Amino acid sequence: MSEIKNTVTDHIVIGKEVFVPLIAEDVLQLRIKKLGKQISEDYVGKVPIFIGILNGAFLFLADLIKNITIDCEIDFFKLSSYGDDKISSGNVTLLKELNCDVNGRDIIIVEDIVDSGLSMKFIKELIAPHKPASMKVVSLLVKPDSLRYKVKIDYIGFDIPSEFVIGYGLDYAQKYRNLRLIYVLSE
């Protein structure tokens, strides 16, 4: 079992890999606050359903919702596309369906990271036949240089380089989601 070793320089070591801070906690929270304000303004008079993509988006969705000032609902999809690897398998599997009816509703898909765009394409194709009134996407992180599928991200927290990241909901073999900031694998 790999243990996290914190060092004085604020990097962490997992096995033989070194991760360095990419986005600090205060920077994350400030950006999430701004996203919440913008979404609240854009949806005045509406009651959107925020659909979080498990497991990665749970922290982001929790903090985002704290900054939403309009009435809203929450539901979740659970997908798998990475397994325990650092790169997508290229296949998306639906592990948990929605419990709500999205027909005629305003939908906001909440994702932790959009990498290739495959998962987002899959989700949009899953929801579209139910004829929502609108469907928008908010993603904390987007890797523009890694996008292989044309997907529109309406609200973006941060554009990041095409490198492996962990923390704040993002995992490595299902661990390290509990880190309070986002770390990137050092070269």
Torsion from C-alpha of 165, 167, 172, 173, nearest 10 degrees? -160
The span from the CA of 143 to the CA of 137, in Å, is 15
Do 144 and 159 meet the contact criterion of CB atoms below 8 Å apart?
A: yes
Question: Is pLDDT larger for residue 2 or for residue 22?
Answer: 22
Q: Is the pLDDT score of 30 beyond 70?
A: yes
Mean pLDDT, rounded, for 103-118: 94
pLDDT score of 106: 97
Mean of pLDDT over the chain = 88
Q: What is the pLDDT of residues 39-77, one digit of tens each?
A: 999 999 999 999 999 888 999 999 999 999 999 999 998
Nearest to 27 by CA among 157, 132, 146: 157
Output the pLDDT for position 87. Answer: 54
Between the CA of residue 39 and those of 27, 71, 84, 136, what are the distances in Å?
Answer: 18, 12, 33, 10
Residue ranges covered by each domain of the chain = 46-82+91-185
- Smallest CA-to-CA distance from 2 within 19, 18, 16, 14 is with 14
Percent of the chain with pLDDT over 70: 89
- Higher per-residue pLDDT: 138 or 123: 138
- Residue 84: pLDDT band (50, 70, 90) is low
112 is catalytic: no
**149-158, pLDDT tens digit by residue?**
889 999 999 9
Is 3.40.50.2020 the CATH classification of the domain at 46-82+91-185?
yes
List the alpha helices (DSSP H) in 92-166.
118-127
| Contact predicate 182/23, CB 8 Å | yes
- 71 vs 91, residue with greater confidence: 71
155, 139 contact by CB (below 8 A): yes
Q: Which of 63, 106, 112, 115 is catalytic?
A: 115
